Chains A and B, each alone.
Chain A
Amino acid sequence: MRGLRSWVARRLLLGVAQTAAVVLLVFVLTEALPGDAAVALAGDQPDPERIAAIREAMDLDRPAHERLADWAAGLLHGDFGTSLASGRPVSTYIADGFGPTLLLAALTVALLVPVGVGLGVLAARHEGRLADRIVSSMTLGVYAVPEFAFGVLLITVFALRLGWLPPTAVGYGTDLLAHPAALVLPVLVLLSRPVCSLARLVRAGMIDALASPYVAQARRYGIPGARIRYAHALPNAITPAAQQLARTIDWLLCGVIVVEALYVIPGLGTVLMNAVAERDVPVVQGLAVVFAVTTVVLNLGADLVAHRFAPRAGVAA
């Protein structure tokens, strides 16, 4: 296990480097965008003198590398800096946006794993027969529909025509848990494609595992079918699914902009979109740090799961 521990340490170090690279890249790219926070603030009266004054007040006239260095020095002390647009600390932006995003992500994952795995196992068990064909064609069909189209469709049917559910979360603030009805449609949209990819991966892995000699041996020795499927075959189908699941959780935690925008949910995706529009560089960078760390940690977790279920493969950093 010592090898595993040093591997985790190496991966974390690499993760720090990757996060730094992401932050640098995001900074350079936001700098490269035309206009800056001063132009955005000046709004309808782009008077050059006024813009210059705002720039001076915001320290935007200092060279880019100095501003980056200052911000990075603050980050080392846990200070994400302050927003250029509002003057509020960036950490409050992140804290406010993280609640709804985390809630949506947690609900989605809690439904995604049993439904995705269950459909995959079901299809694999009836490979080539009716149940498999229904599951396979449905998953392929739903996967082909983009989130925004599916979201609009659901709103039209369930909110506007049938009036069962509120169309958006407008007016509910960040305390979405108090209004569960507003969560149903966004969670359904978030679920739609990940369920399909997960089910298809589990199905493929299960078909291989069910045809394997070790499953044949378990059958030969009279182990009941359900036990074989879930205790003997499924662990071998987990590895690819775990990688896919990590990507999905990452995608969910980094704020699915399309879904948040469509249902007006004040999550991280919305925060990011507004910050980019206002050229609010510290907020964008703060989010970049959060997203990068999330990605690194989740992928490390997925690799650890893969290591547990495919111990032969070994680990490479």
Chain B
Amino acid sequence: MTAVTEVAEIKDLRVEIESRAIVDGVSLRVLPGKVTALVGASGSGKTTTGLALLGEYPAGARVSGDVRAPDGLVGYVPQHPASVLNPARRIGALLGDIARYQVRGLPRARRREAARERILRALSLAQLPDPAAMLRRYPHQLSGGQQQRVVLAQALLLGARAVVADEPTTGQDVLTKRRIVDQLAAVARQGIGIVLLSHDLEVVRTLADEVLVMRGGRVVESGPAERLWLAPRHPWTRELLAGQTQFSAGAPALQGRPRPVLHVRGLTARHSRTTVLRAPELTLRAGECLAVVGRSGSGKTTLGRCLAGLHRDHDGEILLDGAPLPRSLRDRTRDQLAAVQYVFQDAKAAFDEHRPVLDQVARTAIRLRRTTQGEAMAEAASTLTTLGLTDDLARRSPHRLSGGELQRAALARALLARPRVLICDEITSGLDSVTRRGILDTLTGLLRDRHDLSLVLITHDLDTAALGDRIAVLDAGELVEQGQAREVLTSPRHPFTVSLVETSVRLAAGTRP
């Protein structure tokens, strides 16, 4: 057996903040051309370990152990690639500086040309189409996928022997995920070692050669991906893997036909002059969960925003119990506002960071139902408890709650309006599998316990959509298919739905591209 030299290595890393260990005794080897995955719930120490490879630690951390990256060249692709692209500069800015440093040995006259050549080669390696034209663009003029390729190109240009990819597929739709998986596999084929930090188990299973399962800063189990999936040894690994709901058919159809709560007729929504959504007919019945599925940019969120009165540039009618709703939030009455509530994807941004969660949740009842302060606080506390947030958690300010806890608080806040329709916009997409399952169970419970509540569940994830009674599929702003969840998932009619379901099944089966 020939020994492969690792491109980076961590030995017995321990990172302490205020004498609390956030990473404890972690060792890992990054081999050229291999994918090493760190999996675990959020807060398990994945990102701290990944950043340690780059020589970066949280402020005020005490570090012991050994981190080696022999060439010192480790690339980093963060969860949100846009964050590492300078908004005020064209995307070529950092690439240009990296290349400039590399061509310093050349005669002055040839430097410019050589640098440009290197940049274009790196961009092509990262599979960015038309790199020469792209160099002239600003980050905001690129799609999320293109931004990710540019960031990857930075690492390739640098000549990184290892790349740390932090949650590269989180919050992406299934087709984009597929593309990212292919892309990372292609990078690995070039002999670069990849460290994949992810809670997306499907992607890990498809890509990873070696998996380390982390919990509370420790590696509880590690081994080759196949072995781990077939025979998980640690109970936490089993729980994590079980969190991956099998791609299941939807709930049975509702008995009888309850009356419609929300009825959309001839909806055409625009952003200035571009039409972004066309939904000729869509009905939400009482007690029903309607899943709206589509890729990012397909108009799912615009639909939700039209219903909630947040996007008023549209034609057509939205009827609540048969009465038309005004297009803009501002023209809606207090009762109409209370009837349609919205829960946003980014729970952190949806809370004021300086006031306790409990106060902010209670405010809904005071504003929309004119209850007294005391009643509102009592109701907020009991709703939060039902949703699994203890009294102690509820009295904290938002930044001391985890993403999953905040999302529950956001649900509680919407529920305090006693809504008829609750719009949940990708509320689980930033969460790890265990937390996601918890939130989805909560939603199921709400539908069961509150008979007057209907859900609009906006998601890119077919597993989440399977929770719905009915599914509406959006593609490029068109409502291409709608029907009972079971039918849509098992016998999709529209070609787009077919491809969505197929890709999803392939990813779940863990076939390597």
Contact = CB atoms under 8 A, between A and B. Distances in A.
Interface in A211-257: 212-214, 216-218, 220-223, 227, 231-232, 235-236, 238-239
Interface stretch (A6-14, A24-32, A192-200, A307-315): A307-315
B101 A223 contact: yes
Contacts of A213: 78, 83-84
Contacts of B83: 212-214
B87 interface: yes
B323 interface: no
A253 to B, nearest CB: 28
Interface in B44-64: 54, 56
B87 to A, nearest CB: 6
A90 to B, nearest CB: 43
Contact of B88 (A218, A222, A235): A235
B76 interface: yes
Most chain A beta-carbon contacts within 10 A, residue among B84, B85, B86, B94: B86
Given A217-B154, A232-B93, A311-B138, A222 B101 contact: yes
Contacts of B97: 218, 223, 227, 231-232
Interface string A107-144: 00000000000000000000000000000000000000
B76 A214 contact: no
A227 B94 CA distance: 10
Contact of A236 (B54, B56, B86, B141): B86
Given A223-B98, A236-B86, A311 B93 contact: no
A218 B151 CA distance: 11
B87 A311 contact: yes
A218 B87 contact: no
A221 B88 contact: no
B93 A231 contact: yes
Interface string B80-124: 000111111100011001100100000000000000000000000
B227 interface: no
A70 B98 CA distance: 65
A221 B98 contact: yes
Contact of A312 (B54, B87, B93): B87
Contacts of A216: 56, 84
B80 to A, nearest CB: 8
Interface in A60-101: none
A205 B164 CA distance: 29
A241 to B, nearest CB: 12
Contacts of B78: 213
A220 B83 CA distance: 14
B140 interface: yes
B158 interface: yes
A312 B89 CA distance: 11
Contacts of A239: 88
A232 B92 CA distance: 12
A213 B147 CA distance: 14
B140 A235 contact: no
A218 B138 contact: no
A221 B89 contact: no
Nearest to B85: A214
Given A217-B84, A309-B88, 11 more contacts: A213-B78, A213-B83, A214-B86, A216-B56, A217-B151, A217-B154, A220-B56, A223-B97, A232-B93, A239-B88, A311-B87
19 contacts: A213-B78, A214-B83, A214-B86, A217-B151, A218-B86, A218-B97, A221-B94, A221-B154, A221-B158, A223-B98, A231-B89, A231-B97, A232-B93, A232-B97, A310-B87, A310-B88, A311-B87, A311-B141, A312-B140
- 8 interchain residue pairs of minimum CB distance: A235-B88, A217-B84, A213-B83, A214-B86, A312-B140, A309-B88, A236-B88, A213-B84
